[in-house]
C-alpha cells in the first residue's frame, strides 16, 4: 500500500507548459504530481494568454517572475538558474507536443507529456534517440493505468488464472460531441482539426488510453493485423473521426474489438474492458474503478474489491486508500506521476538496473500508441481493409 512516502532522493523541481486556468487536464497533473511530495511546482508557462497564465501561476502560489509567457522563455530563464526546473509537463494541444518536448530535451530537462504523444512514429523515434543520448526520461500520462485493479488484471493474466486469452473487448465512449461544433469551446475545435489534433480525433484522444491499458494487461500479446472503420457523424470534423471501430487479430489467435466514440448521445463517459480467457474473464470499467468482475465458467460471478487481501500483490502494492474507502482517478494519476518520478530519480543517479525493472509509461508506450494510430488510419484510408500491423 502506498502511504505518501517520497520514495525518491529529493523532490524534483517541476514546471508545466499548458494546463492553465481554462485547460481541461491541468489540475489532474497537479493532483497527480503534488500529492506525494515527489515534485515541487516551481514554474510554468500555463497559458497561450501570457497575462492569464501569470495570474494563474501566482494563484497557485508561484513567484510571478517564474510564471513565463511561453515555453521558450521558461527554458531560457530556468536553465540559467542554479535552482532551475528539472522536469517539465506538457499539457498543451497535440500539435505542440513534439516541438516543446524537443526543446526541453535539448535544454537537458526531463519531460512528462500528454498523449497522443506526437503525430508520427518517426517523430517518436527521433525523440527516443534524443532522450537516450541526453540521458533524460520522457513520461507519458496515460492517466487511467495507475488504477490498482488494472494491475490486478495484468497479474491474473500473467499467472494464467484466465487461461489462454481469446477475446479482448475494449470501449471508451461518451456523448459530449453528439451535436455540431457551432459555438464549441477551443478544446473541441483543436481536437477536430487535423492541423492541431493530428491524424485522428477520438482514436487518439480516447482510443490510445484503451490501447495502452490492453498492452499493460497483455504484455505477451502483439496485434498482428487490424481493421479500422472510422466516421465523422458531424461532417465538419472530416477527415477526422468522432466514432470508430477497430477489429484486431493477436499473435496467439485472440480476437479484439475496440469502440471509441464521442457521439454516443447521452453517455456520460465510460471506459470498459473485458479480457476473456479459456477458463475465466475479467471486466473493469472506470465508472466503478474499485471493482473488478471476475467470471469463472461454471461458477457464480464474483466482484473483486480494491484493497482486499485476496488480490494479487501487484494490485495491492499500489492501493492508496485501503478497502474501506473509494479509490479513484486522482489516485491513479498519483501513481503515474510517482512511477515517472522514480524513473527520473533513477536516471539522475545512473541506476540503469532499477530502470530496467521499473514500470512506468515512457517513450516506448507513447510510441506504441502513435504506431497503433498510424495503422488504424492506414486501414481506414484503404477502405477499412485489414492491414498487417507495422
Ligand atoms: N491523459 C488524459 O487523461 C487527458 C485528458 C484530457 C486531455 N489530455 C491531453 O492533454 C492535452 C491538453 O488537452 P486539454 O483538454 O487540457 O486542452 P485544453 O484546450 O482544455 O487546454 C489547453 C491548455 O494549454 C494552453 N496552451 C495551449 N498552447 C500552449 C502553449 N504553446 N504554451 C502554453 N500553454 C498553451 C491553453 O491556454 C490551455 O490552458 C492534449 O494533448 C490532450 O490530448 C489528456
pLDDT of residue 76: 98
Q: How many CB atoms lie within 10 A of CB 1?
A: 11
Helix (H, G, I), strand (E, B) or coil at 265: coil
The pLDDT confidence band at residue 137, using thresholds 50, 70 and 90, is very high
Peptide bond into 203 cis (omega under 30): no
- Cα(88) to ligand 1 centroid in Å equals 14
91 CA distance to ligand 1 centroid (A)? 4
pLDDT at 6: 80
User: What are the φ and ψ backbone dihedral angles of 332, each rounded to 5 degrees?
Assistant: -65, -45
Mutational test site, ligand 1, from 47, 68, 92, max ligand atoms within 8 Å of CB: 92
The architecture in CATH of the region 12-143+336-367 reads: 3-Layer(aba) Sandwich (3.40)
pLDDT tens, residue by residue, 194-248: 999 999 999 999 999 999 999 999 999 999 999 999 999 999 999 999 999 999 9
**What is the per-residue pLDDT across 253-311, written as a single tens digit (0 to 9) for each?**
999 999 999 999 999 998 999 999 999 999 999 999 999 999 999 999 999 999 999 99
Q: Could you tell which of 93, 104, 205, 370 is best to mutate to test the pocket of ligand 1, judged by most ligand atoms within 8 Å of the CB? A: 93
Across the chain, what does the average pLDDT equal? 97
- The CB of 180 under 6 Å from ligand 1? The reply is no
- Give residue 165's pLDDT: 98
91, 140, 144, 145: which to mutate for ligand 1, most atoms within 8 A of CB?
Answer: 91
Residue 129: band (very low, low, confident or very high) from pLDDT cuts 50, 70, 90: very high
Residue 353 pLDDT more than 90? yes
Nearest atom in ligand 1 to the alpha carbon of residue 52 is 37
Ligand 1 atom 9: the closest Cα is on which residue? 114
Task: Kindly tell me if the per-residue pLDDT of 117 is higher than 90.
Answer: yes
Average pLDDT over residues 134-155: 98
Q: How far is the CA of 128 from the centre of ligand 1 (A)?
A: 22
Q: From the alpha carbon of 185, which atom of ligand 1 is closest?
A: 19
> Does the beta carbon of 74 lie inside 6 Å of ligand 1?
no
pLDDT of residue 206: 98
What mean pLDDT comes out for the span 375-379? 98
Task: Check: pTM over 0.95? Answer yes or no.
Answer: yes
> pLDDT tier at 4 (50, 70, 90 boundaries)?
confident
Indicate if the pLDDT at residue 5 is higher than 90. no
Question: Region 339-362: what's the mean pLDDT?
Answer: 97
- Nearest ligand 1 atom to alpha carbon 71: 32
Domain ranges across the chain: 12-143+336-367, 147-322+376-388
Give the burial class of 383: count Cβ atoms within 10 A of its Cβ; 0-12 exposed, 13-18 middle, 19 or more buried: exposed
Q: Which architecture, in CATH terms, is 147-322+376-388?
A: 2-Layer Sandwich (3.30)
The whole-angstrom separation of Cα 85 and Cα 358 is 24
> CA dist 132 to 102, 105, 138, 213, 354, Å?
12, 10, 10, 25, 16
Task: Please check whether residue 46 is in contact with residue 16, taking contact to mean a CB–CB distance below 8 angstroms.
Answer: yes
Range 306-319 average pLDDT:
97
Note the pLDDT tens digit of each residue in 35-65: 999 999 999 999 999 999 999 999 999 999 9
Amino acid at each position: 500500500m502506498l502511504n505518501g512516502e517520497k520514495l525518491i532522493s529529493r523532490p524534483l523541481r517541476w514546471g508545466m507548459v499548458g494546463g492553465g486556468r481554462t485547460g481541461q487536464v491541468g489540475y489532474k497533473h497537479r493532483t497527480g504530481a503534488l500529492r506525494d511530495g515527489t515534485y515541487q511546482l516551481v514554474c510554468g508557462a500555463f497559458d497561450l494568454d501570457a497575462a492569464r497564465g501569470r495570474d494563474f501561476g501566482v494563484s497557485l502560489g508561484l513567484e510571478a517572475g517564474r510564471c513565463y509567457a511561453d515555453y521558450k522563455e521558461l527554458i531560457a530563464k530556468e536553465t540559467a538558474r542554479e535552482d532551475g526546473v528539472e522536469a517539465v509537463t506538457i499539457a498543451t494541444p497535440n500539435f505542440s507536443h513534439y516541438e516543446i518536448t524537443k526543446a526541453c530535451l535539448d535544454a537537458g530537462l526531463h519531460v512528462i507529456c500528454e498523449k497522443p504523444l506526437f503525430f508520427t512514429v518517426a517523430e517518436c523515434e527521433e525523440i527516443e534517440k534524443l532522450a537516450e543520448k541526453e540521458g533524460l526520461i520522457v513520461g507519458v500520462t496515460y492517466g487511467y493505468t495507475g488504477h490498482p485493479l488494472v494491475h490486478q488484471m495484468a497479474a491474473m493474466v500473467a499467472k494464467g488464472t484466465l487461461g489462454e486469452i481469446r477475446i479482448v473487448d475494449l470501449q471508451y465512449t461518451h456523448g459530449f460531441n453528439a451535436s455540431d461544433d457551432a459555438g464549441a469551446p477551443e478544446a473541441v475545435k483543436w481536437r477536430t482539426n487535423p492541423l492541431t489534433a493530428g491524424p485522428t480525433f477520438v482514436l487518439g484522444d480516447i482510443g490510445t488510453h484503451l490501447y495502452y491499458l490492453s498492452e499493460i494487461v497483455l504484455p505477451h500479446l502483439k496485434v498482428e493485423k487490424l481493421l479500422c472503420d472510422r466516421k465523422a457523424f458531424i461532417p465538419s470534423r472530416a477527415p477526422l473521426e468522432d466514432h470508430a471501430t477497430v477489429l484486431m487479430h493477436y499473435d496467439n489467435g485472440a480476437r479484439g474489438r475496440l469502440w471509441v466514440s464521442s457521439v454516443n448521445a447521452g453517455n456520460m463517459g465510460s471506459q470498459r474492458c473485458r479480457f476473456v480467457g479459456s477458463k475465466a474473464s475479467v471486466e473493469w470499467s472506470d465508472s466503478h474503478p474499485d471493482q473488478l468482475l471476475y467470471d469463472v465458467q461454471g461458477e457464480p460471478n464474483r466482484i473483486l474489491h480494491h484493497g482486499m487481501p485476496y488480490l494479487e500483490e501487484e494490485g495491492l502494492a499500489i492501493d492508496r486508500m485501503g478497502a474501506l474507502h473509494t479509490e479513484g482517478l486522482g489516485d491513479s494519476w498519483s501513481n503515474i506521476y510517482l512511477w515517472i518520478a522514480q524513473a527520473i530519480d533513477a536516471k539522475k543517479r545512473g541506476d540503469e538496473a532499477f530502470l530496467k525493472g521499473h514500470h512506468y509509461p515512457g517513450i516506448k508506450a507513447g510510441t506504441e500508441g502513435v504506431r497503433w494510430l498510424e495503422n488504424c488510419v492506414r486501414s481506414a484510408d484503404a477502405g477499412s481493409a485489414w492491414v498487417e500491423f507495422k
